[in-house]
Amino acid sequence: MRLLHHLQHWLSGTGRPLRVADFVPETHPVRQWADTFPWTVLVAAVDRNFARRFPTPTARGRAPVATRVLLALELLKHELHCSDEQICSQLRTDLAVMYACGIAEVQVNRPQAHFVLPELLTQFRSRLDEPLLQELLALQAAAAMEEGAVSPAHVVVDTFPSEQGSQRVNEAATLYKAKKKSCRLSRRSRRSVRPRGQA
């Protein structure tokens, strides 16, 4: 319940709390994936960086969403191929996602629509700077090496191109797709009209 208090105030509902770990089997891919991260050091690094760069002038006001939840959601987005909205909605209903976000217990509260709003993820991302991202990757690599899982003895370097995509569909793309679709449809309709056996 400790982490719950850091989440939105309306997260703690009424009734018996459910233990998330009891519902997610140990063989579940998301649970196994989440257990590989050194969460304590990652969260400490993010908190330290944010406290230095964005100091909070007062301790008053509503408690923020826990860094652990936001960081896990951002990583889960890539693992589960979700958008911000989809992952936030999965956090509300999927116990495996709750486990990955470090939520130990949850109380059922049906009218509650969201645990975390998608807008918060955008804000969290905008605060991550390059040195912090490099530090997070280094911490993960150091934890893996410390565990004996990997060794940097022989390494390989390479580059690969990534195109800059756009989430919004522009007018040109819509027009192009519409033309293509209409051509395909007309071709299909012509084919269906043609009698069988005719080339």
Partner 1 sequence: MRCFGRQCRGHGKVFVSLVRQTETQLLTTGEAVVALARTAQVQVQTTTQLTADQRTRWDTTLTMAVAIHQQIVTQSRRLTHSQPLTRCKIVNAYDATIAPICKGKSNCPTQFGRKPGIIGEPATGFVFAARLPVGNPSDTSYVLPLVDQVQAACARITTRATPSIYSLAGDLAVNDATLRESLHNRGILTVGIPRSVEPLLPTPSPEAINEMLATADLHRKRTPRQGELACAAGYSRPVVESIIASLLSRGAGQLRYKGWHGACVQLTMAVMAHNAATIRRIRSGRLTSRAQKFRRLLHLRPLNPLKIKQGTN
Between the alpha carbon of residue 2 and those of residues 13, 31, 93, 120, the distances in Å are: 14, 20, 20, 21
Q: Determine the longest span between alpha carbons in the chain, in angstroms.
A: 81
Residue of the chain from 19, 48, 53, 125 that contacts partner 1 (CB under 8 A) = 125
The answer to whether residues 84 and 131 touch, using CB atoms and an 8 Å cutoff, is: no
Q: What minimum distance in Å lies between the beta carbon of 111 and partner 1?
A: 28
Residue 185 engages partner 1 in binding (rule: CB under 8 A): no
Specify which residues 42 forms β-bridges with: none
- The nearer residue to partner 1, 158 or 171, going by C-beta atoms, is 158
Q: Which of 109, 157, 104 is nearest to 10 (CA)?
A: 109
Nearer to partner 1, 163 or 171 (CB): 163
Site for partner 1 in 73-92 (CB under 8 A): 74-79, 81
The H or E element that residue 99 is part of is helix 95-100
Which one of residues 44, 63, 147, 178 is an interface residue with partner 1 (CB under 8 A)? 147
**Region binding partner 1 by CB under 8 A among candidate stretches 6-14, 99-107, 173-181, 186-194:** 99-107
Among 4, 18, 104, 117, binds partner 1 (CB under 8 A): 104
Rounded to the nearest 10 degrees, what angle do helices 67-79 and 84-93 cross at?
Answer: 110
Q: Which of 14, 58, 164, 198 binds partner 1 (CB under 8 A)?
A: 164
Residue 59, class by beta-carbon neighbours within 10 Å (0-12 exposed, 13-18 middle, 19+ buried)?
A: exposed
Contact footprint for partner 1 (CB under 8 A)? 21, 29, 32-40, 74-79, 81, 99, 102, 104, 125-126, 128-130, 133-134, 136-142, 144-167
